[in-house]
Chain A
Amino acid sequence: MTESLNGKGLALVPKSDAKQTMKDYKSDQEVRWCPGCGDYAILAAVQSFMPELGLRRENVVFVSGIGCSSRFPYYLNTYGFHSIHGRAPAIATGLAASRPDLSVWVITGDGDALSIGGNHLIHALRRNVNLNILLFNNRIYGLTKGQYSPTSEVGKITKSTPMGSLDKPFNPISLAIGAEASFVARTIDSDRKHLQSVLREAAAHRGTSLVEIYQNCNIFNDNAFEPLKDPEVRDNITLRLEHGQPIVSAVKAVRRRPDGSLEVVDRDGVDESEIVVHDAHNPDPSVAFALSRLDEPWFAHVPVGVFRSVERPSYDHEMSVQVEAAKSERGAGTLSDLLMSGDTWRIG
């Protein structure tokens, strides 16, 4: 148990002998999201990605909270637990910490993860339990029919905010990096190839990975991410984060200012050597954090990809190490030793 599991997120999960297909991961339940919901695309992407991992299907568990996205586990033919609003990271922590042989996925939304469950999310991230958290961010409460969420932009007109919302939204990436997350990424529902590439890296990461997935709610917040999907502009505003590559869009580049902060400038006229080269494995989170701050509410430019992927011990593994150390130092416990462990005396 003492060897490093870094980079081996699934090292302890048994592999399947049989070749799997997407069909193996579809459950017999009818999918009941609204027609046109971005969740369909994410579900299909996950179902077609899972066979690639080659895990025994019975060792895969999807745990969710409450919200539209949290119905996800019902549609996957694995073990699944649809739990309580906000609590999925806590429940998944107990499961993953006691069962290192499982691949545990948490499905959550912006309200579930960042509002009612904010505490569990940040503590899961700092502990670094071996979990993959997929945060479907549609910037709205869908299941309760359209209230603003903790990622809605200021001034959002919704049923509960007819004169506009007042509170500043969270940036989930900044929040996760601030919570000591070891793996933080962003992708989008409509780009299956990119989504799956991020999932691949998240699954390989030993520890908690947080993947923010921009997801369209076509009923209550339609086209929230339209600029990122519009073929006319998307390549101009998407800053691709690829480890070892310069951070650029089709027309923009990221450059370091003299004071060390980052700025987005026109790609034309900037010297290649000035463009920041992405280092997802940098132990110092400040550059990843600075990248997360390049977001602008109206999508002038959006970094997408793996912001941060660093190796540090996972909680579940460390917990197992302590249990094994206690057993090897003092031997497995017996009840008679336990009961006799204090001052005892005999009568009769």
Chain B
Amino acid sequence: MTKQVQQLDRVIIRFAGDSGDGMQLTGDRFTAETASFGNDLSTLPNFPAEIRAPAGTLPGVSSFQLHFADHDILTPGDAPNVLVAMNPAALKANLGDLPRGADIIANTDEFTKRNLQKVGYTTNPLEDDTLAEWRVHPVPLTSLTVTALDNFDISKKDAERAKNMFALGLLSWLYHRPVDATVKFLESKFAKKPDIAKANVAAFNAGWNYGETTEAFSVSYEIKPAKLTPGVYRNIAGNQALAYGLIAASVQSKLPLFLGSYPITPASDILHELSKHKRFGIRTFQAEDEIAGVGAALGAAFGGALGVTTTSGPGVALKAETVGLAVMTELPLILVDVQRAGPSTGMPTKTEQTDLLMAMFGRNGESPVPIVAPSTPSDCFHAAIEAARIALKYRTPVMLLSDGYLANGSEPWRLPEIDELPDISVEFATEPNGEDGTTFLPYKRDPQTLARPWAVPGTPGIEHRIGGIEKADGSGNISYDPNNHDLMVRLRQAKVDGIDVPDLEVDDPDGEARVLVLGWGSTYGPIAAAVRRVRKAGGKVAQAHLRHLNPLPANTGDVLRAYDKVLLPEINLGQLALLLRARFLVDVISYNRVRGLPFKAEELAGVIQDVIDSD
């Protein structure tokens, strides 16, 4: 039988199952196959904080959404075209997001009376008209897998667990994905358990063959590779890109990287990644708590290392006092905050942009801290280098505001040319800088940058003491002089205000827009996708995206004032809007949703159009 092959320009697939079903792994592998095939892509993992919530329940559902296309795309997609539902809970939890006509591949083996009851289905939705709006493909994934693995010397439980690879095989057939890398991956992942490795490969192949030979699927789909900028690509998630960026910052600054960190979701992957790269001279220190993590990083910075600490919102709260000490002692320090839904523990695996004001102001006293926010998963690489550049050049702690969406989301990344990365090396102080030729003044500033000398222990002739007590200008000795304090408060502020950041660029193709949509951080993708939609429909809209939140680019006020209306979508209740209104007296229009999820392009397109239309 020759099966029909249909061409598509893009597809959005969501794999959903129990948190123990291996949906993240399945999604990761499908992503790797898709990336190596050359499609552009964007991913959105979505999983509960519980490692194993009760099986078969709605809170236990874990999903992985992947958007891939033959052209460049900006988001993981609003609504899936295909839902792979490994059980009734996965179906019920995701059905609301499925547009009419979407495909549902359901694992019929799990649609038992008991599993249906667990999520409140009184009848089997696969057998009544609940799913009439969609195209349902019932597949007994579990039993097909167990049958395929009949001859393997593994337990029934292990055989059942390979059902995610059967599903991956089927989907790989359905979308013509290359499979060799997945086979290699399985062999390497289970290298110590060859029986399990073989069984998983067999399940994967069985899934492929099932698509190829049965009549359940009459059509398969081709999505041609995307025409992207020439170069070498790899797929990368935000946390990995951020870790690579920190390593690059260490190489480009010629300083050893010291990471002090305490495990916290969703930042821990940066600690895991950096701990694998000790051959770069990296020292990773898993501290007893968040405070010790940043304290050790600051201690290492005092000793001349590139000191970094990584955390998420609640950890930033704990580190605040030490960041204040870094402000006072004017030492370079990078604090990575992978923002998550708060307050308090909030929703640890869900994304949010709600730490901006904490990053700006969350310390005692006047304690300005520069803030850099990456816009996409791969941009985390460059943002980390930029944060290091500022920290080192200006001797200041820097906040790097990633978030859960960037951290776990992935996209193809065109690798930068190594020799195009900036040189961010700095000079340590080597000799006394006082006018008498023998005195060392640790707070005598560079007139350009206002940075103080970085004098590391081991350097003779410039022994000195620093600390959290107010410093006398120049000498750095303890000072309670009122005018000196006023001067130092202003100097620390002026140093941060004077940091060189590039101008804000505006994308306004025909220059006729009267509405500007402004964003910062991880909203870049959804906003840019929404702007495309509006423009495609004939709307005029300009877009600008802030990477530096403190200091803001020098032209920010001019850009804001150049438009009749400025729309600012944020995944918070208007934190940047508050800052911009206070600073520029511009009546920014906020659009805020705080659902723990990224914006949808369609939703934002509607909001933009409404603002354009509302005269």
B-binding residues in A (CB < 8 A)? 27, 29, 56-61, 63-64, 66, 73-74, 77-84, 87, 90-99, 101-102, 119-120, 123, 319, 322-323, 325-327, 329-333, 335-336, 338-340, 342-348
> Sorted from nearest, which 7 A-B pairs have the closest CB atoms?
A348-B230, A82-B467, A94-B296, A94-B299, A90-B295, A80-B465, A326-B278
Taking the nearest CB of chain B, how far is it from the CB of A73, in angstroms? 5
Residue among B251, B278, B287 facing the most chain A CB atoms (10 A cut-off): B278
Taking the nearest CB of chain A, how far is it from the CB of B449, in angstroms? 23
Given the known inter-chain contacts A98-B256, A335-B247, please indicate yes or no for A82 contacting B466, CB distance below 8 A. yes
B277 at the interface (CB under 8 A from A): yes
Question: Do residues B464 and A79 form an inter-chain contact, with CB atoms below 8 A?
Answer: yes
Question: Do residues A77 and B463 form an inter-chain contact, with CB atoms below 8 A?
Answer: yes
Residue among A57, A91, A325, A330 facing the most chain B CB atoms (10 A cut-off): A91
Question: Do residues A91 and B465 form an inter-chain contact, with CB atoms below 8 A?
Answer: no
Taking the nearest CB of chain B, how far is it from the CB of A272, in angstroms? 46
Given A58, A98, A326, A333, which contacts B258 in the complex, CB threshold below 8 Å? A98
Complex interface: stretch among B83-91, B233-241, B532-540, B557-565 = B233-241
Question: Do residues B299 and A90 form an inter-chain contact, with CB atoms below 8 A?
Answer: yes
Question: Do residues A343 and B299 form an inter-chain contact, with CB atoms below 8 A?
Answer: no
Taking the nearest CB of chain B, how far is it from the CB of A12, in angstroms? 12
Given the known inter-chain contacts A98-B300, A343-B181, please indicate yes or no for A84 contacting B322, CB distance below 8 A. yes
B327 at the interface (CB under 8 A from A): no
Taking the nearest CB of chain A, how far is it from the CB of B284, in angstroms? 9
Question: Do residues B466 and A81 form an inter-chain contact, with CB atoms below 8 A?
Answer: yes
Given the known inter-chain contacts A82-B467, A323-B281, A335-B251, please indicate yes or no for A91 contacting B232, CB distance below 8 A. no
Residues of B within 8 A of A340 (CB): 232, 234, 415
Residues of B within 8 A of A61 (CB): 457
Residues of B within 8 A of A330 (CB): 279
Per-residue CB contact flags for chain B residues 273-297 toward chain A (1 = under 8 Å, else 0) read 0000111111101011101100111
Measured in the bound complex, the distance between the Cα atoms of B227 and A79 in whole Å is 57
Question: Do residues A332 and B280 form an inter-chain contact, with CB atoms below 8 A?
Answer: yes
Taking the nearest CB of chain A, how far is it from the CB of B372, in angstroms? 20
Residues of A within 8 A of B291 (CB): 87, 90, 120
Question: Do residues A74 and B478 form an inter-chain contact, with CB atoms below 8 A?
Answer: yes
Nearest CB in chain A to that of B331: its residue: A81
Measured in the bound complex, the distance between the Cα atoms of B277 and A78 in whole Å is 34
Residues of B within 8 A of A329 (CB): 279
Per-residue CB contact flags for chain B residues 311-352 toward chain A (1 = under 8 Å, else 0) read 000000000011001000100000000000000000000000
Question: Do residues A102 and B303 form an inter-chain contact, with CB atoms below 8 A?
Answer: yes
Given the known inter-chain contacts A81-B302, A95-B303, A335-B251, please indicate yes or no for A90 contacting B465, CB distance below 8 A. no
A-binding residues in B (CB < 8 A)? 32, 35-36, 38, 181, 225, 227-236, 244, 247-248, 251, 256, 258, 260, 277-283, 285, 287-289, 291-292, 295-305, 307, 321-322, 325, 329, 414-416, 418, 421, 457-469, 477-478
Nearest CB in chain B to that of A348: its residue: B230
Residues of A within 8 A of B295 (CB): 83-84, 87, 90-91, 93-94, 120
Measured in the bound complex, the distance between the Cα atoms of B300 and A96 in whole Å is 8
Residues of A within 8 A of B325 (CB): 83-84
Residues of A within 8 A of B465 (CB): 27, 29, 73-74, 79-82
Taking the nearest CB of chain B, how far is it from the CB of A103, in angstroms? 10
Given the known inter-chain contacts A98-B258, A102-B458, A338-B277, please indicate yes or no for A81 contacting B292, CB distance below 8 A. no
Nearest CB in chain A to that of B296: its residue: A94
Measured in the bound complex, the distance between the Cα atoms of B466 and A63 in whole Å is 10
Question: Do residues B233 and A99 form an inter-chain contact, with CB atoms below 8 A?
Answer: no
Residues of B within 8 A of A80 (CB): 464-467
Question: Do residues A319 and B283 form an inter-chain contact, with CB atoms below 8 A?
Answer: yes
Question: Do residues B457 and A123 form an inter-chain contact, with CB atoms below 8 A?
Answer: no
B interface, by DSSP: helix, strand, loop or mixed? mixed
Nearest CB in chain A to that of B455: its residue: A79
Given A56, A74, A102, A343, which contacts B460 in the complex, CB threshold below 8 Å? A56
Question: Do residues B278 and A322 form an inter-chain contact, with CB atoms below 8 A?
Answer: yes
Residues of A within 8 A of B467 (CB): 64, 73-74, 80-83
Given the known inter-chain contacts A94-B258, A97-B296, A338-B247, please indicate yes or no for A87 contacting B229, CB distance below 8 A. no
Residues of B within 8 A of A90 (CB): 260, 287-288, 291-292, 295-296, 299
Residues of A within 8 A of B287 (CB): 90, 123
Question: Do residues A84 and B457 form an inter-chain contact, with CB atoms below 8 A?
Answer: no
Given the known inter-chain contacts A74-B478, A79-B457, A99-B458, please indicate yes or no for A339 contacting B234, CB distance below 8 A. yes
Question: Do residues B233 and A345 form an inter-chain contact, with CB atoms below 8 A?
Answer: yes
Question: Do residues A94 and B297 form an inter-chain contact, with CB atoms below 8 A?
Answer: yes
Given B229, B297, B305, B415, which contacts A339 in the complex, CB threshold below 8 Å? B415
Taking the nearest CB of chain A, how far is it from the CB of B441, in angstroms? 13
Question: Do residues B303 and A339 form an inter-chain contact, with CB atoms below 8 A?
Answer: no
Instruction: List, sorted by A's number, 21 A–B pairs whose CB atoms are closer than 8 Å.
Output: A57-B463, A78-B463, A81-B466, A83-B467, A83-B468, A84-B321, A84-B325, A92-B299, A94-B295, A97-B285, A98-B300, A102-B458, A119-B289, A335-B251, A339-B234, A343-B32, A345-B38, A347-B225, A347-B228, A347-B233, A347-B414
Residues of B within 8 A of A58 (CB): 457-463
Measured in the bound complex, the distance between the Cα atoms of B249 and A335 in whole Å is 10
Given B181, B305, B418, B477, which contacts A29 in the complex, CB threshold below 8 Å? B477
Question: Do residues A98 and B283 form an inter-chain contact, with CB atoms below 8 A?
Answer: yes
Taking the nearest CB of chain A, how far is it from the CB of B246, in angstroms? 11
Measured in the bound complex, the distance between the Cα atoms of B279 and A57 in whole Å is 31
Residues of B within 8 A of A325 (CB): 278
Residues of B within 8 A of A348 (CB): 229-231
Measured in the bound complex, the distance between the Cα atoms of B477 and A27 in whole Å is 11
Residues of B within 8 A of A97 (CB): 258, 283, 285, 296, 300
Measured in the bound complex, the distance between the Cα atoms of B153 and A74 in whole Å is 70
Nearest CB in chain B to that of A78: its residue: B463
Taking the nearest CB of chain A, how far is it from the CB of B399, in angstroms? 19
Measured in the bound complex, the distance between the Cα atoms of B299 and A329 in whole Å is 29
Taking the nearest CB of chain A, how far is it from the CB of B562, in angstroms? 37
Measured in the bound complex, the distance between the Cα atoms of B415 and A319 in whole Å is 31
Taking the nearest CB of chain B, how far is it from the CB of A51, in angstroms? 15
Nearest CB in chain A to that of B282: its residue: A323
Question: Do residues B296 and A59 form an inter-chain contact, with CB atoms below 8 A?
Answer: no
Measured in the bound complex, the distance between the Cα atoms of B262 and A123 in whole Å is 13
Given B228, B251, B282, B285, which contacts A94 in the complex, CB threshold below 8 Å? B285
Question: Do residues A119 and B292 form an inter-chain contact, with CB atoms below 8 A?
Answer: yes
Residues of A within 8 A of B421 (CB): 335
Residue among A84, A92, A336 facing the most chain B CB atoms (10 A cut-off): A84
Measured in the bound complex, the distance between the Cα atoms of B468 and A64 in whole Å is 11
Taking the nearest CB of chain A, how far is it from the CB of B92, in angstroms? 35
Residues of A within 8 A of B231 (CB): 346-348
Residues of A within 8 A of B464 (CB): 79-80
Residue among B38, B303, B421, B459 facing the most chain A CB atoms (10 A cut-off): B303
Measured in the bound complex, the distance between the Cα atoms of B248 and A56 in whole Å is 33
Residues of A within 8 A of B415 (CB): 339-340, 344
Residues of B within 8 A of A338 (CB): 244, 247, 277, 280
Question: Do residues B38 and A347 form an inter-chain contact, with CB atoms below 8 A?
Answer: yes
Question: Do residues B280 and A333 form an inter-chain contact, with CB atoms below 8 A?
Answer: yes
Measured in the bound complex, the distance between the Cα atoms of B35 and A81 in whole Å is 49
Nearest CB in chain B to that of A329: its residue: B279
Taking the nearest CB of chain A, how far is it from the CB of B278, in angstroms? 4
Question: Do residues B477 and A93 form an inter-chain contact, with CB atoms below 8 A?
Answer: no
Residues of A within 8 A of B229 (CB): 347-348
